[in-house]
Amino acid sequence: MTYSSSLPGLRHLWVERLLERHAGTLTELVDGLGSPLHLVCPQVFHANVEAFQHSFTQAQVRGSVLFAKKANKANCFIQACAQCAIGVDVASVGELQKALAGGVAGTDIGVSGPRKSDQLLGLGLSHQCLLAVDSLEELLRIQQLALSLRQRARLLLRYCPSSQAHSRFGLNPRECDQALVFCRQHAANLDLQGFSFHLGGYDTAQRAQVASHLVDLCRASELDNCRTVNLGGGFAVRYVDPAQWQAFLAEDCAERYHNDKGFAGFYPYGALRAGAEALDDILATPVSPGLSLAQKVIEHGVRLIIEPGRALLDQAGISVFRVQGVKDRTASDGYAQVTVQGSSFNLSEQWFNSEFLPDPLLLPASPRPRSPFVACIGGATCLESDMLTWRKVAFDYPIQAGDLLIYLNTAGYQMDSNESPFHEAPLPHKVVLELRNPHLRWKLDSLA
Ligand SMILES: *Cc1c(COP(=O)(O)O)cnc(C)c1O
């Protein structure tokens, strides 16, 4: 008995077009630039931005979108942010430099992250970025730096709700009160504009409740400028059909994976409400009898910020791997072991002790008869645990050396979060694609 499974990834129209009409170009790109190759499509990013903005407009809420830069390192997405006049959320000097260099105004940049260095805070102050304060100690340093740089710091207090009491990030309710007092005392250097939070998980009602509480804190602050609530990120992405996802989970077992690996948990790949739909839900959540969050926010003249990372990158990239070889153990084990040029560092879900589950697509290098073929996918390194796909995936054709395997929807965190030059492998290139029917234009991702 072979425990193969399939879980087809949802495919955007640009991916369909690419595979139908430009498969030759795709192969040439991998020939020329190497495997793996990440392909990114800023056009899709633009559309995702518009969907979130539309959600704010529909609810008549003043809202801004910041792209959480850590979700992908490509320059093209920062350039897209500058083009559609949205901001960027950064958490390091390098990210802040890239955002500025890409054309994003300092006032549109949010700086988050724990225990920020003086260098990051100083750069943020000089460019009038919106700083999310992580601790009282940090607030004190910001006040001193602002004084010496003759700046007035634009601040949000990052709030850590009691539901996330174990979190490493933000100020607990008591620390938040102390920070407020301090901001009032040092109003000459500290311009407190509101509060922020960023929750783990994807619960929309929970986000609405915390946001509502922070609207109350804004009002109670007695500071004129304290009218912004930043909801952070965590807008789910739908990678597969929700019904197929439920069926997949119901039948999940260790035997489905190479070496009976099994996993304790997965990203919610089949989210019922995703992206801007999740924002619609947050805004429509009742936060007191007869009052939605949107209505409360409007009533109190509060502005919202969201910081989606993954959700702005939904369908905005794919990763292509060349098959290096196949060890066909179908007769003894019931499945084959495929090795691709690349490693699991190019598909970063192992960070979470988990696996990126949507099926990779097979692009055979030569025509061959259809016949069922079950395989797991490993990387070309000397580590047993370097598996891109532990799952025994059911393919429609036998896999051969030279074929391409395409992992779909990888732009959000999958493609480059964990990449390293392990085994002296060069870091993969990113190719920026633009599809203008019937033409395909491509260029290497660059700062210019
Ligand atoms: C990581 C992060 C985000 C983005 O989260 P997504 O799940 O990618 O939407 C937003 N804000 C902060 C503060 C973060 O740390």
CATH of the domain at 122: 3.20.20.10
Under the banding of pLDDT at 50, 70 and 90, the label for residue 52 is very high
Are 163 and 24 contained in the same domain? no
**Residue that is last in its domain, among 283, 313, 343:** 313
Show the domain range for 346: 13-41+315-443
Task: Give me the pLDDT at residue 404, please.
Answer: 98
Cα–Cα distance for residue pair 152/145, rounded to 1 Å: 10
Give yes or no for residue 211 having a pLDDT over 80: yes
Q: Name residues contacting ligand 1 (CB within 6 A).
A: 68, 70-71, 89, 112, 198, 232-235, 307-311
Are 31 and 68 contained in the same domain? no
Judged by DSSP in three states, 113 sits in coil
Mean pLDDT of 131-148: 98
Of the candidates 195, 199, 210, 264, the residue with the CA atom closest to the CA atom of residue 236: 199
- Output the average pLDDT for the chain: 96
Are 53 and 201 contained in the same domain? yes
* Ligand 1 midpoint to CA 161 (Å): 16
The model's pLDDT over 153-180, given as tens digits with 9 standing for 90+, comes to 999 999 999 888 889 999 999 999 999 9
* Ligand 1 midpoint to CA 198 (Å): 7
Mean pLDDT of 109-123: 97
Task: Give me the pLDDT at residue 438, please.
Answer: 84
Mean pLDDT of 330-336: 96
Under the banding of pLDDT at 50, 70 and 90, the label for residue 1 is low
**Residue that is last in its domain, among 286, 313, 340:** 313
How many structural domains are present in the chain?
2
Stated pTM of the model: 0.97
**Residue that is last in its domain, among 287, 313, 339:** 313
Task: Give me the pLDDT at residue 82, please.
Answer: 98
The model's pLDDT over 296-320, given as tens digits with 9 standing for 90+, comes to 999 999 999 999 999 999 999 999 9
Mean pLDDT of 78-84: 98
Cα–Cα distance for residue pair 391/139, rounded to 1 Å: 47
* Ligand 1 midpoint to CA 392 (Å): 32
Mean pLDDT of 383-393: 96
Are 190 and 51 contained in the same domain? yes
Under the banding of pLDDT at 50, 70 and 90, the label for residue 76 is very high
**Would residue 8 count as lying in a domain?**
no
* Ligand 1 midpoint to CA 52 (Å): 15
Ligand 1 pocket mutation pick from 69, 70, 90 by most atoms within 8 angstroms of CB: 70
Of the candidates 71, 115, 67, the residue with the CA atom closest to the CA atom of residue 418: 71
Kindly provide the b/e burial profile for residues 126-145, where b requires at least 16 CB atoms within 10 angstroms of the residue's own CB: ebbbbbbbbbeebbebbbeb
Task: Give me the pLDDT at residue 2, please.
Answer: 64
Q: Whose CA is nearest to atom 5 of ligand 1?
A: 233
Under the banding of pLDDT at 50, 70 and 90, the label for residue 348 is confident
Give yes or no for residue 351 having a pLDDT over 80: no
